[in-house]
Amino acid sequence: MNNPEKNNISEEIIRPIDCDVHPVVEGGLEQLYPYMDSSWKKKFQMSGLVPHSNRHVNPRGSVTRKDAISPEGKIGGSDPFFTREQYLDVYDPKCAALIAMQPSQLSLVWTNPDMVHTVTSAYNDYFIDKWLSVDPRYHLVINVTPQDPKLAVKEIKRLSKVKGVIGINLPLINIPLGDRYFYPIFEAAIEENLPIMTHVTGAEGTYIGAAPLAGGVTKYYVERYITYPQIAQSTLVNLIFEGVFERYPDLKIVFVEYAFSWLGSVLTRMDQSWRNLRIETPWVKKKPSDYVRDNVYFTTQPIDEMPKKQFDSMIGMIEGEHNLLFSSDYPHWDNDMPDETFNRLFSSPELRKRILHDNAMNLFGSRIRA
């Protein structure tokens, strides 16, 4: 890793707010048994279920960086103390938002909503117990099951007041996010003042019930990796034209790890089509780009790298100074660390500060405890 004493971030005294760090539970579901009631514990012990599965194999051998393996041999992201040493103590982010991928995948792979809810809740309690207690810079985006909005609301209400909880991770399924099916979750999120964050799970386009990819199931990991943004594109269009933000003007949605360079063309096309076809959706009272500016955020990782001049033009086109949030994706293989990526691509110190810190402070506010 680079020495932060030699980079501009330290010179500007910007403490990043990292909106996407991935913790892992190593050792199977057994680690979650203390957070389940006895009947569910017995059920999982008898079934021998594994935490999750995936269709595609990462050609690099692992989704995590090899140097993120702890000295004791624990896999990257499984040890809160080593993560603190390797990441928090080097870059000193004000906030590292933990988004756990294991329960997100289970939400799409398993079909029993009660079983998914039980395991998802256990994962949430595990990270509150084992991670939030280690360092005040750790924060948790709680997972909820999209298969049953009532159970999702129950989990939001249960954990919304826990110190260090800053968001709700809602995996995308094959019901569009703008559908009224999700209204109870939106209403609970607004009531508890928590943004809805939706993150790539790895199950998209693979399992029945998961969000589909256009063109069908991909054969190679690289195909799926490249085409993830199309899910965010279709979801964003659906949210706008279903009138979700007109109905819920205080709702905040964050697309995590879907990239953002595609946003300019989608905004242009939405605004143009809205003007030409307003008779179909009269409830959409503002330009789609206005709703995006006011209600929608996008995390920076993975950044599509390009020359600075082009990059600045692209940021201006999407009004990224308002709705981009820094994310490292630590400890994944394609992570974007705050010193290297931001100093290489962002020419404006003020813009860099907004994206590294200010926009997230506006979104999460007093819930950031460090």
- Is there a domain that residue 3 lies in? no
pLDDT tens-digit readout, 100-148: 999 998 888 888 999 999 999 999 999 999 999 999 999 999 999 999 9
Secondary structure (DSSP) of 165-219: EEEEE---BSS-TTSGGGHHHHHHHHHTT--EEEE--S-TTTSBTBPPPTTS--S
67 contact partners, CB below 8 Å, separation of at least 6: 86
Residues 125 and 130: their CA atoms lie apart, in Å, by 8
- Is there a domain that residue 25 lies in? yes
pLDDT tens-digit readout, 279-297: 999 999 999 999 999 999 9
Q: What is the CATH number of the domain that holds 209?
A: 3.20.20.140
Count of structural domains within the chain: 1
- Is there a domain that residue 211 lies in? yes
Residue 324 scores a pLDDT above 90: yes
- Is there a domain that residue 2 lies in? no
Res 12: pLDDT: 58
- With beta carbons less than 8 A apart as the criterion, state whether 80 and 23 touch: yes
- Is there a domain that residue 9 lies in? no
- Is there a domain that residue 229 lies in? yes
Mean pLDDT of 89-96: 95
Residue 64 scores a pLDDT above 80: no
Whether this prediction's pTM lies above 0.85 is answered by yes
- With beta carbons less than 8 A apart as the criterion, state whether 199 and 101 touch: yes
- Is there a domain that residue 10 lies in? no
Using CA atoms of 134, 29, 101, 25 in order, give the dihedral in degrees to the nearest 10: 30
- Is there a domain that residue 170 lies in? yes
Chain centroid to Cα 100, Å, comes to 9
Range of the domain at 144: 15-365
Of 80, 76, 72, residue with least CA distance to 96: 80
